[in-house]
Amino acid sequence: MAPIDRHAADRAADHTPRHPAEPHTPEHRADRRTATLALAHALTAAERGLAVIPLSRTKLPALRSPHHDEARHHAVPGAHAVPGDHTAAGDHTAPGAPAAPGHPASPGHRGMPRHRDAPHPPSPCRGECGRMGHGVYDASTDPHRIRELFAAAPWASGYGIACGLPPYHLIGIDLDTKSGVDAPAELRELALRHLFTIPETVVVATPSGGRHIWLAGPPDTVVPNSAGRLAPGIDIRGAGGYLVGPGSRTEHGVYSAVPGTAHLPPATCPPALLRLLTPSPRRRPRPAHAGAPADPQQGQGLVQFVLAAHEGQRNTRLFWAACRAYENGFGEALTAPLTDAALRVGLTAREAASTIASAARLTGHA
Tell me: do 37 and 175 sit in the same domain.
no
Structural domain contains residue 87: no
Domain edge (last residue) among 162, 180, 210: 162
| Contact criterion met (CB below 8 Å) for 30 and 57 | yes
Q: What is the pLDDT of residue 252?
A: 93
Q: What is the pLDDT of residue 71?
A: 57
Tell me: do 181 and 136 sit in the same domain.
no
**What average pLDDT does the segment 29-54 reach?**
91
Tell me: do 227 and 351 sit in the same domain.
no
| Contact criterion met (CB below 8 Å) for 325 and 317 | no
Structural domain contains residue 93: no
Least confident range from 83-87, 119-123, 248-252, 285-289: namely 83-87
Structural domain contains residue 215: yes
Structural domain contains residue 14: yes
Q: What is the pLDDT of residues 133-184, one digit of tens each?
A: 899 999 999 999 999 999 999 999 999 999 999 999 999 999 988 767 889 9
Distance, CA of 255 to chain centre: 16
Domain edge (last residue) among 162, 183, 208: 162
Tell me: do 57 and 136 sit in the same domain.
yes
Tell me: do 180 and 258 sit in the same domain.
yes
Q: What is the pLDDT of residue 124?
A: 74
Tell me: do 202 and 251 sit in the same domain.
yes
Tell me: do 174 and 158 sit in the same domain.
no
Give me the CATH number covering residue 203.
3.30.2250.10
Structural domain contains residue 28: yes
Structural domain contains residue 305: yes
Structural domain contains residue 238: yes
| Contact criterion met (CB below 8 Å) for 240 and 99 | yes
What percentage of the chain carries pLDDT values higher than 90?
Answer: 44
Pairwise pLDDT comparison (64 vs 309), residue with the higher score: 64
Q: What order of strands is seen across the sheet that includes strand 158-162?
A: 52-55, 158-162, 242-244
pLDDT band (50, 70, 90) for residue 330: confident
Tell me: do 245 and 352 sit in the same domain.
no
76-83 long-range CB contacts below 8 Å, 24 or more apart? 76/113, 76/114, 76/115, 76/118, 79/113, 79/114, 80/113, 81/111, 81/112, 81/113, 82/110, 82/111, 82/113
Q: What CA–CA distance (Å, rounded) separates 88 from 102? A: 10
Using the predicted structure, report yes or no on whether residue 41 has a pLDDT greater than 80: yes
Tell me: do 32 and 148 sit in the same domain.
yes
Domain edge (last residue) among 212, 242, 277: 277
Q: What is the pLDDT of residue 139?
A: 95
Q: What CA–CA distance (Å, rounded) separates 7 from 17? A: 18
Least confident range from 59-68, 104-113, 256-265, 285-294: namely 104-113
The tally of domains found in the chain comes to 3
Tell me: do 195 and 147 sit in the same domain.
no
Q: What is the pLDDT of residue 315?
A: 80
Residue-range definition of the domain harbouring residue 354: 296-362
Tell me: do 197 and 319 sit in the same domain.
no
Q: How deeply is 171 buried, as exposed, middle or buried, from its count of CB atoms within 10 A (0-12, 13-18, 19+)?
A: buried
Under DSSP, the state recorded for 116 is T
Least confident range from 101-105, 123-127, 197-201, 292-296: namely 101-105
Tell me: do 150 and 183 sit in the same domain.
no
Q: What is the pLDDT of residue 316?
A: 79
Is residue 151 helix, strand or coil?
helix
